[in-house]
Amino acid sequence: MDYIGIDIGSTAAKVVARGDHEMEFALPTGWSSKETANIIKERLAGDGIDVTGDGAKVVATGYGRIAVEYADYVITEITCHARGGREMGSDDCAVIDVGGQDTKVILISHGVVQDFLMNDKCSAGTGKFLEIMANRLGVDLHELFDMAEGGETLSISSLCTVFAESEVINYIGEGRRREDIAAGVVDSVAAKVAQLAMRKNLPDQIILTGGLSDSRYFAKILSEKIGKTISPTDRGRYAGALGASLLAEEKTKRAAAKL
Amino acid sequence: MADYRKMWEDLGMDVDTHDQLCEVLPQAFGDVYLSQENRPESMDYYNFVVAEIHGVRPAELIEHQKKGGKVFGTFCVYVPDEIVFAADAIATGLCGGSQFWVPGGEKVLPTNTCPLIKASVGARLDRTCPFFRIADMYVGETTCDGKKKAWEILAEDVPVHVMDLPQMKREKDVCSWADEIRTFKKVVEDFTGNEITAEKLAASIHMINNKRKALERLYAFRKNDKLPISGKDVLLISQIAFYDDPTRFAEMTNKLCDELEQRVADGISVFPEGTKRIMLTGTPLAIPNWKIHNLVETSGGAVVCEEMCTGTRYFERLVDETKTTVDEQIDALAERYMGINCACFTPNHGRIDDIIRLAKEYKVDGVIDVNLKFCSLYDVEGYTVERELQKAGIPVLGIETDYVDSDAQQLRTRISAFIEMLGA
């Protein structure tokens, strides 16, 4: 049996297979979640996994979850991220997931979701903000973080991505160092994520998942803002897909036990 | 809908623009309501009322006016309908619940005003709602800053009487509300030319109490483990209560309750076993705002109670019917109305107590605290609501939204995740 977790996010689609086959891969979501779901299906078929057959159970999650027509279960990204985060952290931890279009803070207690918060109305404080600013500075996300590390933080005070971009343009116009602007951009996102997270009583263990999860620099800045250690995770971008795969296994076994 | 074009034209409405609303409403109602399975047959009455929402009841109100009667439009559950009906006048709720009216309101109000106020002002100024055209006088109140200023704008277009609602609940505040009701009585008497006698007031208190009792009876069915009616349907009934004829409404609602009694006896539930029981708290859901109920009830949940103006705040507790003089009756009215717990009061422990009590009575699995965007009172109080619910061990999700549908999918993710969390 294969347990497949498919996490179709706004920016990237992540897939984790566990069981007879062990694999993980990611691809850009592109403009159509349905198309992406089909590409994933074919790619898995190429590796000998037939998602429509009895030998595979699929859980779809992420904002494109309903586009995965061959999914056996559809579960929200909160529950999946929590399950994956629990695997990467522990039964009692918090997961901060900075995604392409939203940011989630999930509190896990005794292995289950106890509470969560989501910023999904405003792109400031999400990956989208960094993407736009990196674009403006003519670099990619990794370069942005690398540059930021060597910069002196410039203040970006606007709460809105569009206005913050104007601030960045002003700095560029003033001839400020790119490194300093980059540091300001990362600082601004971290401040917004911290503001969201600090609305809740955070436990001692906090892990970072999502697209920025492997950035030690971002984790460091965020830790300073929150006043607690935020641990980066190497496979954090797969947290949702891993959680989905684990839930596929648990749901299948629970259903079998009921029969 | 039957043809009411002539009536709308006579009301001075912008009929062409209004047609656009008439076109979308049946579709929305069909998607949200008629798609439900196993609805009680007695919902037919409310289906009819909604289908003819801008026709049948407005025609009745106009008929009443032709006979010399007056119509008062109200916006808040603190305004005592009893006074209006005691003067042989009719009170009707005017709160706007559709995005359709919001741009009209934004022509004169700041964008960061709550959608309920924007929709209400837009409906009046754009002349796209018959109720707003028919009402001879609007009765406002001082429940929030946005409304206070909106009355000033509306007063340029229509007679407005504003009742000064106290912001605290000391004894002197209850007395002051009784005084406000006395002033209101005088305004209504002068405007209608009809005297409000103890006998008439007793009759209208009795009539409105009967409406409250019918709603209380209806809500009690939602305390059952097996729910004989959906939350969506009860919300619709609560919304209709604000503008339907009170006596007929009580009668039809009691008839529905008879059917629900039979359903309970037969063990009928409109939800599958394991459906999570959700209570909504917060800002009102004016018709046709069915968004949150629809999301909850298509995501594995059932709404079993609303601690809202369109909910328990509207009908809980009766006015004492034993008083025999107008003065005593007005004191009894003030007592009852000041017992409503709105976020405009400070401190407001009563509301927290209500929420915890209702969560237990209706055996809820979780609470969703809903805030209409830019309602700072409920938004700020949301902090206390969430904290106290958590202390009581009741899971809670706070959401903020308005009348647009663009956030529906994001809300669905949160609501689904919340329901998944309750199932773990």
pLDDT digits (tens, 9 = 90+) for B401-423: 999 999 998 999 999 999 999 98
SS3 content of chain B, % helix, strand, coil (to 5): 55, 10, 35
Residue A215 has pLDDT above 60, yes or no: yes
Alpha-carbon distance B69 to B64, whole Å?
5
Asked if pLDDT for residue A158 goes beyond 90, the answer is: no
Residue spans per domain, chain B:
5-423
Amino acid type, A127: G
- pLDDT tens track for B210-237: 999 999 999 999 999 999 999 999 999 9
CA distance B145 to chain A (A): 25
User: Best of B407, B412, B421 to disrupt the A interface by mutation (most A CBs within 10 Å)?
Assistant: B421
ipTM value for the complex: 0.90
Order across the sheet with A2-8: list the strands: A23-28, A12-19, A2-8, A56-61, A73-74
Taking the Cβ of residue B414 and every Cβ of chain A, the question of whether any pair is shorter than 8 Å is answered with: yes
In this prediction, residue A126 carries a pLDDT of 86
Classify strands A206-210 and A93-98 as parallel, antiparallel or unpaired: parallel
Q: A94-103, B58-67, B91-100 — which is least confidently predicted?
A: A94-103
Instruction: Check pLDDT > 60 for residue B424.
Output: no
Residue of A nearest to B413 (CA): A76
Q: Is A252 left (phi over 0), alpha (psi -120 to 50) or beta?
A: alpha
Instruction: Indicate if the pLDDT at residue A122 is higher than 80.
Output: no
Cβ–Cβ < 8 Å for B396, B389: yes
* B231: CB partners within 8 A, 6+ apart: B222, B278, B293, B296, B297, B302, B303, B304, B306
Average pLDDT over residues B368-378: 97
Residues β-bridged to residue B280? B306, B368
Residues from chain B contacting residue A78 (CB–CB below 8 Å): 413-414, 417, 420-421
Residue A124 has pLDDT above 90, yes or no: no
pLDDT at A211 over 90: no
How far apart, in whole angstroms, are the C-alpha atoms of residue A96 and residue A104?
6
Contacts of A114 in chain B (CB under 8 A): 421
Please indicate whether, in this complex, the C-beta atoms of A78 and B409 are within 8 angstroms of each other. Answer: no
Q: How far apart are CA B346 and CA B381, in angstroms?
A: 10
Tell me how far apart the alpha carbons of residues B91 and B38 are, in angstroms, rounded to a whole number.
34
The structure tokens listed for A88 are 């990467």
Q: For residues B317-338, give the mean pLDDT.
A: 98
Residues B11-42 have pLDDT tens digits of: 999 999 999 999 999 999 999 999 999 999 99
Chain B: residue nearest A78 by CA? B417
Across the interface, of B390, B413, B424, the residue whose CB is closest to A76 is B413
pLDDT band, very low/low/confident/very high, at A101 (cuts 50, 70, 90): confident
DSSP secondary structure, B179-248, as one string: HHHHHHHHHHHHHH-----HHHHHHHHHHHHHHHHHHHHHHHGGGSSS-SS-HHHHHHHHHHHTTS-HHH
Reported as a single tens digit per residue, the pLDDT across A225-234 is 999 999 999 9
Residue A102 pLDDT level (bands cut at 50, 70, 90)? confident
Q: What is the pTM of this model?
A: 0.94
Structural domains present in chain A: 2-78+239-258 (3.30.420.40), 90-232 (3.30.420.40)
Strands (E), A20-129: 23-28, 56-61, 73-74, 93-98, 103-109, 112-119
pLDDT higher than threshold 70 for residue A120: no
% of chain B exceeding 70 in pLDDT: 99
Least confident of A129-143, B30-44, B129-143, B273-287: A129-143
pLDDT tens column, B69-125: 999 999 999 999 999 999 999 999 998 999 999 999 999 999 999 999 999 999 999
Cross-strand bridge partners of residue A4: A17, A58
Whether pLDDT at B381 is above 60: yes
Query: Rounded to whole angstroms, how far apart are CA atoms A13 and A4?
Result: 13
Q: Quick one: tokens of B351?
A: 């509301």
Tokens of B59: 């025609």
pLDDT of residue B1: 59
Q: Shortest CA distance to A38 belongs to which of A67, A80, A5? A: A67
User: How far away is chain B from the Cα of A179, in angstroms, using its nearest Cα?
Assistant: 35
Residues from chain B that touch A76, judged by Cβ atoms under 8 A, are 413, 416-417, 420
A63 to B413: CB separation less than 8 angstroms, yes or no? yes
pLDDT in tens, B238-253: 999 999 999 999 999 9
